[in-house]
Amino acid sequence: MAEKVSGDFRLTYATMYDPPEALHQEYEAALEAVRGAMGAEHAMIIDGQEVQAAQKFEDRSPINQEWVLGSFQSGTEEDAHRALEAAQRAKPSWAQMPWKERVATMRRAAGQIDARVYEIAAVISLEVGKNRMEALADIAEAADLIRYACDQMESNDGFVVRMGEDPLKEYQARNISVLRPYGVWVVISPFNFPAALTGGPAGAALVAGNTVVMKPATDTPWTVRLLAECFRDAGLPDGAFNYVTGPGSTLGEALVNSPLVDGITFTGSFEVGMSIYRTFANGRYPRPIILEMGGKNPSLITRNADLDRAVSGVLRSAFGLQGQKCSANSRIYVDEEIYGEFVPKLIEAAQDLRVGDPTDRAVFMGPVINRGAYQDFKDYSEELSKAGEFLTGGKVVTEGDLDKGFFCEPTIVAHVKTDHRLWQHEMFLPVTMVHSFQTLDQAIELANSSSYGLTAGFYGSDEEADWFFENIEAGVTYANRPQGATTGAWPGFQPFGGWKGSGSSGKNAGGHYYLQLYMHEQVHTLIK
Ligand code: NAP
C-alpha cells in the first residue's frame, strides 16, 4: 500500500476516507509551492534526454483560464519515432535484466512517487480540477498499482513454471514455460486519471520487462511529466521510459501506426479506442492491444434498499470528479415502490454539494476539464430540457471568479424515454438520469441494454444482490456500497476493467490476471 506521508500515517485505500489533519496541511503547503512553479516550460524526456519541439502548447487550469500552468512541447511524428527507437535500443538490456532487479527498480519508482505525493496531487487539482482527496487518491493509486505489479511478479516467481517431462525412453526431458516481455509498449492515457492510468499500465509493462513510450492527454501533460521524473529518478535506464507530449491526432497516430511498436495500452473514449484498435490491426502480424474505454454505468435501487446508503453511493458516483469518471453513475433505475421516497432525498443531497475551486477543502465538485466539455454540458442541457425534466441543475455556475473556469451544476434529469439516445451515450459530465422500474427483470434488462459494460451498482437485499451479480453485464460490480454506487477501484481490492464496449482484454487492472497481458509465453523443451 502507499507508504507516504507524514508521521505514522499511511495514505491507503483504507485510510483515504478518514484522513488526519496533517494530510490537509501537507497538501496545502504543496499547493502553495506548486502555484509558485506555475508557468514554466517542460521538455519531453526521450532516451533520458530533455527534448524540445519547435512548437509549444499552453496548459491552462480549468479552475481559472488565466492560470497558465506550464508550456509543453507539441511533439511531432519525428519525436514519436525517436522515442520508439530509444525504447527499441533499451529493450534488450531491460528485458534481460533479472526480474528481481527490475522489480527493485520499479519499487524505487513507487517510492519516488510516495515522496512527491502531495506535490503531484496539488498539480492534479490544478490541472484536472480534482478535489484534494480525489487528487491524492489518483497519485497514491499510481504507486500502489506499480507495487501490485511487483507483488504479482514476485508471488508468481517471475512466471517461470516447470511443466511435465516428456515420457521418452532413453532421454530425459525438461519443459519450462516462461512468460517474456513483448518489447516496446505504447501507453496512451486520458485526462481524468492522469496519474493512475499512466503509472498503472506503464508500471505493469515495465515490471514485465517491456520498455515504454508514454503519451498523456493534451489536458494533463504536467502530472505525467512529474511521473516521468519519478521513473527517471528511480534509476530506470535511458530509453526504458520515454515521455512525449503533443496531439493525439498527430503524435498519437504516429505512435499507433509505427511498426516499432509491440503492444499498446490505450485508456480513453470508445471512439478513439476503436479507431486505434482497427489501425493497429493493419500491422504485419497481430500484436496485443489493451483497450480501457468508456462507460454508461447503471445503478439499481430496489424496495429493499437502505435508501440512505443508496443516496450516498449514487451521489458520490454521479458527481465525483464532476461526472468525468469512466465509472460515473449516469443511469439510475429505481423501484417504483420507493421512487417517491428516494428521488427527493437524492435531489436534496445533490443541492447540498459545493461547487467551486476544488483546492478549497470544503468543495466537492470542481470544474469540468475544458471549454469543449463546458459547451457539451450546455448542449446536453438544452437537449435534455426538451426530452425530460430537470429535477435539479442544468445550468453552468458563474458566480465571482467561477466564470473564469468551467463550472457546472450537479444535474439530475427524469422522465426521459428509455429509447432516448442519451441513455446510451456517455456524456462524461455531472449529468445523471433517473427512471423507475416495476420488476427486477425489467430493471436488469434496462441496465444491460448498453454497448458498454464497465461498472454497475445495486442496492437491495443480499439475495437480490446475488441475483444482480449473476445477471449484470459489467466488469466491476458493487452492492449496498455507500462509498460509491458504481465507482471505486484499488489494486488488490477492486481490480478495474470493462466488458463489451468498455474494454478489450476481459482482465482487470490491479487484479490477478493483469500483469500477464504484458508478456507472451515461451516454452523451453530441452532433451538431455
Ligand atoms: P480521449 O479523447 O479518447 O483521449 C484519450 C487519449 O487518446 C488522449 O491521450 C488523447 O490525446 C489520445 N488520442 C486522441 N486521439 C488519438 C489518436 N487518433 N491516436 C492516438 N491517440 C489519440 O479520452 P479523454 O477525453 O482523455 O478521456 C475520457 C474517456 O476515457 C472517457 O470515455 C472515459 O470513459 C474513458 N476512460 C476509461 C477508463 C477505463 O478504465 N475504462 C478510465 C478513464 C477514462 P489528446 O488529449 O492529445 O487528444
CATH number where 145 lies: 3.40.605.10
Q: Are residues 378 and 352 part of one domain?
A: yes
Q: Are residues 159 and 126 part of one domain?
A: yes
Q: Are residues 461 and 380 part of one domain?
A: yes
Q: Are residues 437 and 389 part of one domain?
A: yes
Q: Compute the average pLDDT of residues 56-80.
A: 98
Backbone angles phi, psi at 96, to 5 degrees: -85, -10
pLDDT at 292: 98
pLDDT at 18: 81
12 pLDDT tier (thresholds 50, 70, 90): confident
**Segment (H or E) for 263:** strand 263-267
Whether 489 is in the pocket of ligand 1, judged by its Cβ within 6 Å, is no
In this structure, is residue 9 part of a structural domain? no
pLDDT at 265: 98
In this structure, is residue 498 part of a structural domain? no
Specify the 3-state DSSP secondary structure of 46. Answer: strand
Taking the C-alpha atoms of residue 501 and residue 172, their distance in angstroms, rounded to an integer, is: 49
Q: Are residues 157 and 119 part of one domain?
A: yes
What letter would DSSP give residue 249? Answer: I
Whether 250 is in the pocket of ligand 1, judged by its Cβ within 6 Å, is no
Q: Are residues 328 and 437 part of one domain?
A: yes
Q: Are residues 346 and 447 part of one domain?
A: yes
**Whether residue 326 lies in the annotated active site:** yes
In this structure, is residue 7 part of a structural domain? no
Total domain count, the chain: 2
In this structure, is residue 386 part of a structural domain? yes
Taking the C-alpha atoms of residue 213 and residue 196, their distance in angstroms, rounded to an integer, is: 16
- Percent of the chain's residues with pLDDT above 70: 98
Q: Which of 44, 124, 187, 192 to mutate for ligand 1's pocket (most ligand atoms within 8 Å of CB)?
A: 192
Would you say the C-alpha torsion 495, 500, 502, 507 has a positive or negative sign?
positive
138-155 pLDDT per residue, tens: 999 999 999 999 999 999
Ramachandran category for residue 484: left, alpha or beta (phi over 0 → left; psi -120 to 50 → alpha): left
pLDDT score of 212 more than 80:
yes
Q: Which domain holds residue 512?
A: 21-293+506-527
Whether 249 is in the pocket of ligand 1, judged by its Cβ within 6 Å, is yes
Rounded-to-10 torsion of CA 145, 151, 155, 159 = 70
Q: Are residues 389 and 287 part of one domain?
A: no
**Segment (H or E) for 107:** helix 99-115
Q: Are residues 510 and 455 part of one domain?
A: no
pLDDT score of 8 more than 60:
no
**Whether residue 78 lies in the annotated active site:** no
pLDDT at 4: 46
CA 123 to chain centre: 17
Whether 272 is in the pocket of ligand 1, judged by its Cβ within 6 Å, is yes
Whether 288 is in the pocket of ligand 1, judged by its Cβ within 6 Å, is no
Q: Are residues 387 and 245 part of one domain?
A: no
180-202 pLDDT per residue, tens: 999 999 999 999 999 999 999 99
Contacts (Cβ under 8 Å, ≥6 apart) of 8 = none
pLDDT score of 3 more than 50:
no
Specify the 3-state DSSP secondary structure of 203. Answer: helix
What pTM was estimated for this model as a whole? 0.97
The C-alpha R_g of the chain, in whole angstroms, comes to 23
Specify the 3-state DSSP secondary structure of 490. Answer: strand
Mean predicted lDDT score pLDDT of the chain: 96
Q: Are residues 105 and 252 part of one domain?
A: yes
In this structure, is residue 480 part of a structural domain? yes
State the closest ligand 1 atom to the C-alpha of 502, by its place in the atom list counted from 1.
Answer: 41
Q: What is the CATH number of the domain that holds 457?
A: 3.40.309.10
Pick the catalytic residue: 150, 230, 326, 408?
A: 326
336-346 pLDDT per residue, tens: 999 999 999 99
Q: Helix H segments across 156-292?
A: 196-207, 221-233, 253-257, 270-280
pLDDT at 1: 38
State the closest ligand 1 atom to the C-alpha of 496, by its place in the atom list counted from 1.
Answer: 40
Q: Are residues 312 and 279 part of one domain?
A: no
Which residue's CA is the nearest one to ligand 1's atom 16? 248
